[in-house]
Structure 1
Amino acid sequence: MHTPSATITLYLSARNKIVALASGTGRRWAETALALAGFTEDDDLLHTLPLDYPARARQALTHLHQAARDCQVRVATHPRPYLGDIAEAIVAALPGSWAATVLGLREQQDQHHLRDYLWETSALYELLEKERLGFAAFLRDGGGTELLLVERPSDGSYVVGALTPSADHLNATAPPPRSVIASHAHTAAALIRTRLLPDYERAVHLSRLGEAEQDLRWAQEAHEPGAYYAAALDAALDRFRTQAAAFIATLRDGEPLTAEQSVFLDRVEDGLGLTLDEPHELDSEALADAQAVWLIHGEELIEMARAATPPPVTAAKDRAPATAVLPPSAVVASATGPHR
């Protein structure tokens, strides 16, 4: 008997639709069966079937089962909620303006490709390497923070980890934030808010301190003349001024400062030209003053910011107790027929 080389997995979405994932070496046959049954492909390359009209949906699913049989494609119904719904529930509970994007993992190489973007190479990395996952979801805040969400097949838990910041955005050298694991969406969102994001911000802060320290050390030790050196020095100073503004803001928002520390921060802020209406537009005199402040007081500011860095967030438990999950409604299970 011929073994199907492709599988269509059906997921019931809380948004009154069925999402179908075609996978396997014969995936094109599976996509053909979906098209013949009336599933539509959206901009994210996901095949969906609306459930607004139950009779029409049942007819489409019956046609799908027949087309899949003709194309020698296996049809299966996934017992867990659609990951896109979980992602939407999580981002709705996060501070700020987060958005979720779902990625169908049709081939094993899709998962392996995601590994290259992970900041922490632990539980999430192993899942992408060893398990067969249906979907992954990107959670983005629009400001450079990107998280990856997947479902762990062994127990249905949701694993969320941070993606490495873009090299244009940050040279990530600090220990990465740990992934979080939860049994349902609202617990995952709580763990992201209380542990993953604070640890992410801490790692970004420490990486920026490392960048600032490296630039300062280079500027203090390198004295090669020439236009290239001057341009590189100006670029490093401009980076430090941006970093210094963030360091100063963090210090002022943290533990109460002594009078001496407040005076120091005011002096550095003024000397770097950070109080100007256009802080990145400095004339030659102001630029020279900023460079002197950087070279003389930069190390003290870095040390002050590093000393005020909070410890990583720890938790006795990083997952919630397992909860029962209801299976998809009968409209999916009854119309697809027996699994093949």
Structure 2
Amino acid sequence: MSPSSEITLYRAHDKIVALPSGTGRRWAETALDLAGFTENHDRIHTLALDDQAQARQALKHLHQAARDCQVAVTTHPRPFLGDIAEAIALALPGHWRAAVEPLREQQDQHYLRDHLWETGTLHGLLQKDGLGFAATLRDGGGTELLLAERPSDGSYIVGALTPSPDYVRVTAPAPRSVIASDARLAARFIQTHLLPEYERAVHLSRLDEAEEDLRWAQVSEAGTYDTVDLEAALYRFRTHATAFIATLRETTPLPVEQAVFLDRVEDGLNLDGLDDPDPEALADAGAVWLIDGEELIEMARAATPPASVTPARPKALSTAALPLPAVAATAPGPRR
């Protein structure tokens, strides 16, 4: 009778990582427990290598327990993906964190696939192949990337996860995934190709959403719209305006009149108090939105680099915003 479950062993820099899988996964987990593997909060089983003799004994026990439980044991030929992800995170500028995503079932892969921005190679990989593990890379500012290993050749592919719709509704073409043979090259391609495309796509999506909300507010007559929808649209615009103004100041030599305009809009929109519920402040911000919003959008759109240019990643284009207030988080907004 062929085993209904399998244990795949991955060699990490200071431990052995085991991934149980298959319809009889509980038997595989039992074998790992009997052998002395430790299960962490992510349900990843590990065996420390600080005591080599003890580790060898545990592996011997694992193979014995696996035979008794009719579980197959295989060793993955490549380094543990978590180590690759950590190396990439350390090589990227800023403060990136890596997290391992165990893929025990095909539905785990499908969950990640559904959050990918690009429907290309990485999307197909998550749809068809049993990967074992994937890893996420997060910069703390809202940017999330997904790392996976391609079984066909052992190379690594990194793609962007779609930003949360609470931050921006993406409308721009997705940034393209990058493929590299090792962590060093992956970090370089992420920095020079993936992140600039990602930031440009987020910037264009912000512009589209800000323009759509402004047009809706301008043509809506008083009493014909829901107040909650209007406040949600204003909040989105103020959030996007924060990114537009910061980007314009950092990346564009501004004439004096434009610098004065940005100062006035920033003050009028009360961008330092995005979560301020004061009705008078919101009324003032709404007036500035309707009067000066179009010019701000035009300035931000004019400063958008062409697709062929890969500039340094401006901090102002982070997808993250301040936490959404209840009205913006729950309101459907003017989605027409």
- Shorter-chain TM-score: which interval? 0.7 to 0.9
CA drift of 1:283 comes to 6.1
What is the rounded CA distance, in whole Å, between the counterparts of 1:285 and 1:41 in structure 2? 55
Paired residue for 2:298?
A: 303
Q: Helix, strand or coil for the counterpart of 2:99?
A: strand
Separation of aligned partners in 1, 2:56 and 2:222: 75
- Shift in Å at residue 229 of structure 1? 3.5
Superposition CA RMSD, Å: 2.1
> Given the superposition, is the C-alpha separation of residues 62 and 289 from structure 1 closer, same or farther in structure 2, using an over 3 Å criterion?
closer
Q: Is the 8 A contact 1:127 1:152 kept in 2?
A: yes
Q: Tell me how far 1:290 sits from its aligned partner.
A: 3.2
Q: Larger deviation: 285-294 or 248-257?
A: 285-294
What secondary structure, in the 3-state scheme, does the structure 2 residue paired with 1:256 have? coil
Q: What residue identity is the alignment partner of 2:2? A: T
281, 286, 292: which one pairs with 2:287? Answer: 292
Q: Which residue of 1 aligns with 2:12?
A: 13
CA deviations 1:270-304 (Å, max 9, x no partner) are 43344xx6466486665444333321221121121
Equivalent position of 1:37 in the other structure: 35
Query: Are residues 135 and 314 of structure 1, via their aligned partners in 2, closer, same or farther at CA, if it must alter by over 3 Å?
Result: farther
**2:211 aligns to what?**
213
The residue aligned with 1:59 is 57
Of 134, 154, 160, the match for 1:156: 154
TM-score, L = length of structure 1? 0.85
Distance in 1 (alpha carbons) for counterparts of 2:214 and 2:202: 18
Q: 1:217, CA displacement in angstroms?
A: 0.5
Check conservation: 2:239, 2:274, Cα contact below 8 A: no
Matches within 5 A, 1:174-253: 174-225=172-223, 229-253=226-250
CA contact (8 A) 1:199 1:313 kept: no
1:272 aligns with 2:269: yes
1:153 is paired with a residue whose SS is coil
Unpaired segments ≥5 residues, structure 2 = 311-336
Which of these residues, 74, 83, 108, is aligned with residue 106 of structure 2? 108
Higher relative contact order (CA 8 A, sep 6+): 1
Residue number in structure 2 paired with 1:141 = 139
User: What SS class does the counterpart of residue 21 from structure 1 fall into?
Assistant: strand
Question: Whole-Å Cα distance in 2 between the matches of residues 184 and 313 of structure 1?
Answer: 25
Number of residue-to-residue matches in the alignment: 310
Query: For 1:123, which of 121, 124, 148 is the aligned residue?
Result: 121
Do 1:30 and 1:71's aligned partners in 2 also have CA atoms closer than 8 Å?
Answer: yes
C-alpha distance 79-108 of structure 1, shift in aligned 2 (>3 A): same
Q: Structure 1 residues 267 and 150, CA, compared in 2 at 3 Å: closer, same or farther?
A: same
Structure 2 contact 211–297 (Cα < 8 Å) conserved: yes
Check the 8 A contact 1:96/1:141 in 2, yes or no. Answer: yes
Q: Which has the larger radius of gyration?
A: 1
Runs of 5+ in structure 1 lacking a partner?
A: 316-340
- Structure 1 residue 122: deviation in Å? 0.4
Q: Is the 8 A contact 1:195 1:313 kept in 2?
A: no
Shift of residue 95 of structure 1? Answer: 2.2
Q: 1:281 to 1:71 in 2, by over 3 A?
A: closer
Are residue 258 (structure 1) and residue 258 (structure 2) matched? no
How far apart are residue 311 of structure 1 and its match? 2.4
TM-score (norm 2): 0.86
Change in Cα spacing, 1:314 to 1:287, as seen in structure 2 (3 Å) is closer
Matched, 1:4 2:3: yes
What is the CA–CA distance in structure 2 between the aligned matches of 1:76 and 1:280, rounded to whole Å? 54
Q: Deviations over 1:173-223 (max 9, x none)?
A: 211111111110111111112221222111111111111111100111111
Q: In the alignment, residue 251 of structure 1 is paired with which amino acid?
A: L
- What is the letter of the counterpart of residue 300 of structure 1? E
